[in-house]
Structure 1
Amino acid sequence: MPKRNAFLKVHLAATLLFLYVPILVLVVLSFNASGLPTAWGGFSFKWYVKLAGDQNIIRPLVNTLIVGGTTALLSTVIGTLLALGVEKMRSSAVMDGLLLTPMVIPDIVLAIALLSFFVAIDVKLGLQTIVISHVVFCIAFVTAVVRARLDGFDNSLLEASTDLGAGRVTTFRRVTLPLIMPGVVAGALLSFTLSFDEYMIASFTAGSSSASETLPMHIYSMLRFGIKPDINALAAMTLVASFVLVFTAQRFNKGVFEDL
């Protein structure tokens, strides 16, 4: 048993190194004064200062925040209501499969399907189509997180609220919603993170106008001209934002499962 535990620890350490060493290298290079990946020229914040004054970054960043915030709001509301509705139905493998399908469909397939749908109904592509596409993608994640919170939910609390004269709306607002709020917040944070980082679906459904370019799309367009130091700084900032959101969502998820 001790040898087995030692092997698992070594395996875990090797896996973490494989996953995070490239990310660590990128972050370190974002502070390299020389801007060369093969020569260290000293520690410097000049690439971050350059980004702060780059107006070409501000517009995609604002678009990303608009898309991410709107996606989080809409997908959280729809996904929460969907989770509440599904929990009142008889458990079905078919229903569960349909709800989880958007999570496992390859992004390229979902992107092509959404683009074909928008073209078929003659909808102008732009930020609004990116938001709709991201909501379709994120609803399944919110539903899964909220359903985890609802698993083992004590329905006697709802009965007690009804017996005390509360209506359905009051019961939902004063009893159900506070109890599932950790799951709702975790789902919202997860939706924002997924939308913030998503590239494939956005690139297909944004249209040809640069006014609807998001931050991941802008980073990719910069990479076509080679890896520059400011790209490392921008990628590092995006990584930090993503990690903060994921860890925050994980804290809420931890509360969800501890309370069950």
Structure 2
Amino acid sequence: MASNLNRLSRFNLASLALGLAFLYLPIVILVIYSFNASRLVTVWGGWSLRWYTEFFNDRAMLDAAWMSCRVALASATLATLLGTLAAVGLSRGERFKGRMLFSGMLYAPLVMPEIITGLSLLLLFVALNAERGFWTVTFAHTTLTICFVAVVVQSRLGALDRSLEEAAMDLGCSPARAFAAVTLPLIVPAIAAGWMLALTLSLDDLVIASFTTGPGSETLPIRIYSEVRLGVKPEINAICTLVIGLIAMVIVVASFASKLSSTRGESAAPL
């Protein structure tokens, strides 16, 4: 029996190692070759920071990166504001008759293919005769990410004890003041985690941005995709490594914020 368990454990470890290698080995190779001195991406020519220097001297790439950062910051902020309000409405609006319909419409982008979302938004902007550019991409990314923020915030609200707000109102606070003084501080980590998740999704998006962007508003993923179609340059490896590092930091901070929110929610939950 012990030998069978030992063999099973070895099999599980081997499966885990193969799975991790399948997921992360290409990323590790990309990061290593971003420091390759050779112009050929498949030939190792020694360690060098040459391609990072090339990126910071590439005006088109820098403009695309700046556009992605602006869109991500604006859309993440809008999605966090609207997603938090939606989460509060869903968690506190038990008597709202259209709650089920509103919930389904809010979470539809979670399961909707991005190409459908992008095409529908394109048709909307064309019907409104809106000039495609920074704001159309921002609104499109807000539509994409608002549901993720709502999921994170609503899960934290569901773990809190409503009697805390009721006690504050019994002491003379208005409902809005009780929410701001009692509930909001407890869900701030969840709101921060939702904002960081929305930021990451916006930085990563290619499909929806390609439908809703216009001349002079090219985002970094679109720029990278257009460059890769002509052949992978070592500079692309350097850019992708920087993006991987940025998103990894955002994910780590979001994980800590989510863990903090979960701890606070458990401490505030009813016994």
Report the TM-score, using the length of structure 1 for normalisation. 0.94
Instruction: Give matches, 1:81-100, under 5 Å.
Output: 81-90=85-94, 96-100=103-107
Q: Alignment partner of 1:212: what SS?
A: coil
Alignment match of 1:166 (pick from 168, 173, 183): 173
Alignment match of 1:7 (pick from 2, 11, 15): 11
Shift in CA distance, 10/133, structure 1 to aligned 2, threshold 3 Å: same
1:246 aligns with 2:251: yes
Match of 1:142 in 2: 149
- Single out whichever of 87-96 and 62-71 deviates more from structure 2: 87-96
Alignment match of 1:123 (pick from 130, 137, 140): 130
Q: Partner amino acid for 1:248?
A: V
Alignment match of 1:235 (pick from 227, 232, 240): 240
Counterparts of 1:59 and 1:40 in 2: how far apart (Å)?
A: 30
Alignment match of 1:102 (pick from 87, 104, 109): 109
Alignment match of 2:160 (pick from 131, 136, 153): 153
Q: Partner amino acid for 2:232?
A: I
- Listed one character per residue, the Cα deviations across residues 224-251 of structure 1 (whole Å, up to 9, x for unaligned) are 2210111111111111111111121122
Q: Percent identity?
A: 39
- Listed one character per residue, the Cα deviations across residues 70-121 of structure 1 (whole Å, up to 9, x for unaligned) are 0111000000010000001339766544332101111111100110111112
Counterparts of 1:217 and 1:253 in 2: how far apart (Å)?
A: 31
Counterparts of 2:205 and 2:170 in 1: how far apart (Å)?
A: 47
Counterparts of 1:8 and 1:253 in 2: how far apart (Å)?
A: 29
- After TM superposition, give the deviation of residue 40 of structure 1 in Å: 1.2
Counterparts of 1:181 and 1:246 in 2: how far apart (Å)?
A: 17
| C-alpha contact 2:65 2:220 (8 A) present in aligned 1 | yes
- Single out whichever of 2-11 and 161-170 deviates more from structure 2: 2-11
| C-alpha contact 1:29 1:35 (8 A) present in aligned 2 | no
Flag structure 1 segments of 5+ consecutive residues without an equivalent.
none
| C-alpha contact 1:75 1:191 (8 A) present in aligned 2 | yes
- Listed one character per residue, the Cα deviations across residues 168-210 of structure 1 (whole Å, up to 9, x for unaligned) are 3322221111010110000000001100111110111012x1x
1:46 aligns with 2:53: no
Counterparts of 1:131 and 1:18 in 2: how far apart (Å)?
A: 33
Counterparts of 2:184 and 2:111 in 1: how far apart (Å)?
A: 29
Instruction: Give matches, 1:2-41, under 5 Å.
Output: 2-41=6-45
- After TM superposition, give the deviation of residue 3 of structure 1 in Å: 3.6
- After TM superposition, give the deviation of residue 148 of structure 1 in Å: 1.3
- Aligned pair count? 258
- After TM superposition, give the deviation of residue 222 of structure 1 in Å: 1.1
- After TM superposition, give the deviation of residue 164 of structure 1 in Å: 1.5
